[in-house]
């Protein structure tokens, strides 16, 4: 869908002659540092050019209307600015509603109602953070329409709160951070405990990042996700009987090995091991990327996947088939699952001239083993959530 079509849709659907402003928030991939954000560790994501467009205009009354071109069957979802409470029947619109409510609760003055049209091109259910993308694009819409000057990190934290408290998903801060602060041609190393971050140029030489979608629906993903969090929290509590640490991210590998006996449950110990070793790999990955050492960077990605497969146990047959097939291909420097796991997407660093063959082999092997096909997208990095100029479109 191009920008002109988005404008036309806005006018037809909301039956108005107002010219809306246009905004965009990307999705994200995570290069490495998985399930470390809520453990006080590091993550290394990048914003991608698949994302969510929002067209918006202020109203003169206190009505709020939402429409998604991806959910046309839901029609216009309408509510009042003075009642933005969660309502199950509002379905997807709870994300923008929640974001507006948390911005208002934080003391910002949203003075009138608003009409917002959404259109997203992030593949459905792929684990590339479409929900955080909707939250952050809504944040920027409200900030810009009402000239609010919301500190970006604060907006990111509000987005995470919406996810945790309003939607009830206990996720970490990585997705909103990557989407709120991403930078084209860069990855972002974030310390999730201090929120200090560092942009690293993503110079891939003669390689591309390929995103491979398992096309598996991520059923039960959020209950398993919450279970992993609890296991890590229990492991931390056990370690705290002797150590003065505030998160697993405070531990080096050596400190973990010397103290792991404090963790009483075997499964919790494996989960904690992943969190500590993955954090170490993520910090190391920055060093390799900065040195242009893609080969060692790729090896860390492979180790990350093995740890998520065996210690954290969040991969599953679909992701393992893709990643293991990728490892066997010539010209592949590294491959791993990305995001929460339990389905969703994998990423692989593939030589430019090997892309077609890679797709062919992975498709054949996956089809044979899993019974349906994966999808492929070449990752292009993008900037964080912002207003986009539409000069010349109308
Ligand atoms: C999901 C969550 C993130 C993060 C990843 C796993 O994407 O939203 O906060 O925990 O899983 O790294």
Kindly state the tokens that stand for 219: 């059923």
Annotate 330-341 with DSSP letters as a single string: TTEEEEEEESS-
In what side-by-side order are the strands of the sheet with 42-43?
42-43, 186-191, 197-201
Is 29 near ligand 1, meaning CB less than 6 Å away?
Answer: no
Q: How far is the CA of 340 from the centre of ligand 1 (A)?
A: 5
Confidence of residue 220 (pLDDT cuts 50, 70, 90): low
Is 130 near ligand 1, meaning CB less than 6 Å away?
Answer: no
Q: Give the pLDDT confidence of 312-359 residue by residue, as tens digits.
A: 999 999 999 999 999 999 999 999 999 999 999 999 999 999 999 999
Q: What is the pLDDT of residue 165?
A: 97
Could you tell me what percent of the chain has a pLDDT over 70? 99
Atom of ligand 1 nearest to the CA of 34: 12
Measured CA to CA, the distance from residue 285 to residue 299 in angstroms comes to 10
Q: Give the pLDDT confidence of 45-90 residue by residue, as tens digits.
A: 999 999 999 999 999 999 999 999 999 999 999 999 999 999 999 9
Is 175 near ligand 1, meaning CB less than 6 Å away?
Answer: yes
Annotate 295-344 with DSSP letters as a single string: HHHHHHHHHHHHHHHHTS----HHHHHHHHHHHTSTTEEEEEEESS-SSS
Residues catalogued as catalytic: 175
**How many C-beta atoms lie closer than 10 Å to residue 328's C-beta?**
11
Atom of ligand 1 nearest to the CA of 43: 12
Whether pLDDT at 391 is above 80: no
Q: How far is the CA of 336 from the centre of ligand 1 (A)?
A: 15
Measured CA to CA, the distance from residue 194 to residue 324 in angstroms comes to 35
Is 172 near ligand 1, meaning CB less than 6 Å away?
Answer: yes
Q: What is the pLDDT of residue 217?
A: 77
Instruction: Catalogue all structural domains in the chain, each as residue range(s) with its CATH number.
Output: 3-201+382-388 (3.30.230.10), 207-379 (3.30.70.890)
Among 192, 283, 156, 271, smallest CA distance to 225 is for 271
Q: How many residues can be counted in the chain? A: 394
Whether pLDDT at 125 is above 90: no
Whether pLDDT at 230 is above 80: yes
Q: How far is CA 383 from CA 23, 152, 230, 286, in A?
A: 12, 13, 33, 19
Mean predicted lDDT score pLDDT of the chain: 97
Q: Give the pLDDT confidence of 291-320 residue by residue, as tens digits.
A: 999 999 999 999 999 999 999 999 999 999
Among 393, 323, 331, smallest CA distance to 365 is for 323
Is 38 near ligand 1, meaning CB less than 6 Å away?
Answer: yes
- Whole-model pTM? 0.97
Q: What is the pLDDT of residue 361?
A: 98
Decide if 175 contacts 134 (C-beta within 8 A). Answer: no
Kindly state the tokens that stand for 147: 């000239």
Ligand 1, atom 8: nearest CA belongs to which residue? 171
Ligand 1, atom 1: nearest CA belongs to which residue? 340
């Amino acid at each position: 869908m191009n920008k002109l079509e988005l404008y036309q849709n806005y006018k037809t659907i909301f039956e108005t002659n107002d010219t809306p402003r246009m905004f965009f928030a990307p999705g994200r991939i995570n290069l490495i540092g998985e399930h470390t954000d809520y453990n006080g560790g590091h993550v290394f994501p990048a914003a991608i050019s698949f994302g969510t467009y929002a067209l918006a205009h202020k109203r003169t009354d206190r009505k709020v209307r939402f429409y998604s071109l991806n959910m046309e069957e839901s029609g216009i979802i309408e509510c009042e600015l003075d009642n933005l409470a969660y309502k199950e029947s509002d379905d997807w619109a709870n994300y923008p509603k929640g974001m507006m409510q948390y911005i208002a609760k934080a003391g910002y003055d949203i003075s009138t109602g608003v009409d917002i049209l959404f259109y997203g091109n992030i593949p459905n259910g792929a684990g590339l953070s479409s929900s955080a993308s909707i939250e952050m694009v809504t944040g920027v819409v409200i900030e810009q329409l009402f000239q609010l000057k919301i500190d970006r990190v604060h907006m990111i934290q509000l987005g995470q709160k919406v996810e945790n408290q309003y939607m009830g998903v206990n996720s970490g801060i990585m997705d909103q951070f990557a989407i709120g602060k991403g930078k084209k041609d860069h990855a972002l190393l974030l310390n999730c405990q201090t929120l200090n971050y560092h942009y690293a140029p993503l110079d891939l030489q003669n390689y591309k990042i390929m995103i491979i979608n398992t096309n598996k629906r991520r059923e039960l993903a959020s209950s398993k996700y919450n279970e992993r969090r609890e296991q890590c929290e229990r492991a931390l509590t056990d370690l705290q009987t002797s150590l003065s640490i505030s998160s697993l991210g405070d531990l080096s590998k050596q400190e973990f090995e010397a103290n792991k006996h404090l963790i009483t449950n075997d499964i919790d110990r494996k989960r904690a091991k992943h969190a500590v070793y993955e954090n170490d790999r993520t910090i190391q990955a920055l060093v390799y990327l900065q040195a242009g050492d893609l080969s060692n960077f790729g090896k860390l990605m492979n180790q990350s996947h093995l740890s998520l497969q065996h210690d954290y146990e969040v991969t599953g047959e679909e992701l393992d088939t893709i990643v293991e097939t990728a490892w066997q291909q010539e010209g592949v420097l590294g491959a791993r699952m990305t995001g929460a796991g339990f389905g969703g997407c994998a990423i692989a660093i593939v030589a430019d001239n090997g892309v077609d063959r890679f797709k062919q082999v992975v498709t054949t092997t996956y089809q044979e083993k899993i019974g349906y096909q994966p999808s492929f997208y070449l990752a292009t990095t993008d900037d964080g959530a912002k207003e986009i100029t539409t000069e010349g479109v109308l």
